[in-house]
Structure 1
Amino acid sequence: MVNTLKGRLLITALGATWLSNSLLFLFLSTHDWLLLLLTLAFSSVFVIAIVQYFFTFIENKLVALEAGLLNFKDNEFSNSLAITGSDELSQLCYLYNDVADKLRAEKQSIYQRELLLDKVIESSPIMMFLVDDDDYFVYSNSETRHFLNQGKRMEGEQLTQLMKHWPETLCQAITEHQDGLFVIEEQDNSETWHLSRGDFLLNNKKHQLFLLKQMTRELNRQEVAVWKKVIRVISHELNNSLAPISSVTHSGQLIAKKYQDNKLPLIFETIKERIDHLNSFISGYAKFAKLPTPRLEAININAFVAQLRTQLEFNVPEKIANVEIMFDPSQLEQVMINLIKNAQESGSALSQVSLEITVTSQQAIFEVKDRGAGMSEQVLTNALIPFYSTKQSGTGLGLALCREIVEAHDGKISLHNRIGGGLAVSVVIPR
């Protein structure tokens, strides 16, 4: 660019000099061609020297500006011009440096925001993936790769090809453009998911953004919260009614003694007994409704199992790893006691009731197994719901309390029938 400008300036100056000299000779009406040529030669040398002298003053600044603007074009803002002077071209160079500083700061800010956004998306439990109009993956976050493609990269892969290995209900929700809740059934377990999508233009090309969120835990928490509210209301109303009844019963017992009637004390004693039973019943539900937050401690698994075996009889088929896991010992002990007692009452021989513990780098899995009658599909579906019980005198709180404790540990509890008969209850606690 600089050489082109210099060449044009030189040609313009030479042309103007030659034209002015030629007109001057015509005006003087002289035909001394030798003198004309010598004049033109001398004038050309003089013009070239003048142009070279003055252009050298601005050439360096123009070259620097050209290089800087080329850097701008390549999205590079780290260079500044080393310029001195106060002329107009120097002022332009100073302005260039100010613009470069602002663009550099803005680029760094954008880069930091992109790093933060990438970290948030990669760490998000929500699955996110972007598909272009040609059905190819443009982006997928870590959760998506882990759940849908065994941790492998998905960029460049075709959506319809990868969907062949996905759960059927998920494929149906995507192909039918269904936004909302759907259920994935796998390994005797059902998980509720929510799918949402959005269409937008990126680089003048249509793209679809898919968001998949696991909703089972959230729905369970909402369900338990509703049950707790119901229990608190019922407990409050029953306590309000039982308190005056208990007081009146006590007064009636005192009065009955004066009349020496054999039937009245028996009647009042029966009423008192039923009141005590109701109070005990209410306190059990209140315990479920007011379960405290787990107090996590580093507990040795072997010591934990040894403590359990002092209270209950069960088998430990395999050697347990001598490691420590973070959990609330009293709460998880309550879970294990409930599950092992249920296994013992299932009709299974005590020798076939076992507790198996598997510890990995990510989680600890406690499995209580028996060889009892197992559960029907309907019972398996409702077993973890509060108040649901198949026992004649059961309250329906045992497994519900277990689920509440396990989920408070960010864990998961599941039940499934065993091949050959019996039930297995799995409790997964993250490490």
Structure 2
Amino acid sequence: MIRHWRSRLPLSLQFGAIALLYVAAAAALAALLSKWMGEPWLVVLITAAVLAPLLVYHVQRAFAPMNSLFRALAGSVASYRDGDYSFGLSWQGRDELAELVASHNRLGEALREQRLALVQRELLLETMVQNTPVAMVLIDPGRHVVHANLAARKLLGEGRRLEGHTFEDLLAGAHDAVREAFQRGGDGMFTVGDEDEEDIYHLSRRQFRLNGRHHELVLLRVLTAELRRQEVQTWKKVIRVISHELNNSLAPIASLAHSGSELLRRGQYDKLPTALATIEDRARHLEGFIRDYARFAKLPAPRRTPIEWSRFVAQLRTQVEFTFDGKGSDGIARVDVAQLEQSLINLLKNAHESGSPPHEVALVLRRTPDAWRIDVLDRGTGMNEAVLANALLPFYSTKRNGTGLGLALAREIAEAHGGRIALLNRDGGGLCVTLVLPD
């Protein structure tokens, strides 16, 4: 706190009053000395010698409160720079310095509030990071652990603090599956434990700059419970689909078998061939249904062999009808011929079953810089948003007798080749199914 009676006056009035006072004093002293001395220069010299020390004294007295205030301001700014916002300044006057002190105090209050908000936010973030089930490890450029939350300590350090340790030393003591996941590089999934007690993890690694230096953030997320729930839901769906298909085939088979026995008992042999043909048809449908499921479940890894597109397309046209403009057929692809053929047969049959005119079902082949693009086009009814979102999922079908495996199998084959599949409604009606297969 700085107090001085002059600070009650504005600075301009203070210095104006001092100046007027000394001008008047100098005039009076000069008039007095002029009566006794005739030399003007001697009068000026004596007047200056008498009043100058007094003027210096009063100026210093006038500047003393301001000097104290400026020192206090410099000290408070240094404290702010060091993160200390616990004090303010007081000035009793109503002059220009009072406005400066008030502005400085408002700045300090704003900084205190911001600092408090930052502290609360840091505490919240620290609590969230420490208690999240995702293991988080921050690694500096020297491969030392900068930060690790509780989940990371439990997974990699048996509960102890990991900060300061090299990440490679931690991996050396970790489970074999963890080390293998990091050796593969990039993101991925791995399993820790045996068949009875196993945990499934997803590994994610991100690079970024912190304080101008490269750092790596490692995230290890446990997916066991989530995948188990999805697995149960998938099995329930599979069981419902299989149960529905078995009932649709076995019920009429049982009924026709009973009817056949009645026809034999009555001697009505002329009607037996019809009943037996229907039983055979339903049995073959059920056989094909089970075979499709087995093919989807046991899809082997693709065996890539080179093949000319012209030969492949000609072979495909012997099994299903479609139009082809011939573009791109002079190239050679390395694919699993049997798998790609099965995938395209399913897609082309879907196109014919969409309500499209047969001549509007087309196959388009195009070369991209690093892949082959195959489009299967039709002019059927297309798909609404809900069907587009689920069409590639296994066992999802809008057909009454569909298995929901055609598009899912095509997706499985494309991804096994390192490619992808996409569905898009066409302008003017119809659907475009695109397969992208990298070289």
What range is the shorter-chain TM-score in?
A: 0.3 to 0.5
Question: TM-score, structure 2 length as denominator?
Answer: 0.45
User: TM-score, normalising length from structure 1?
Assistant: 0.46
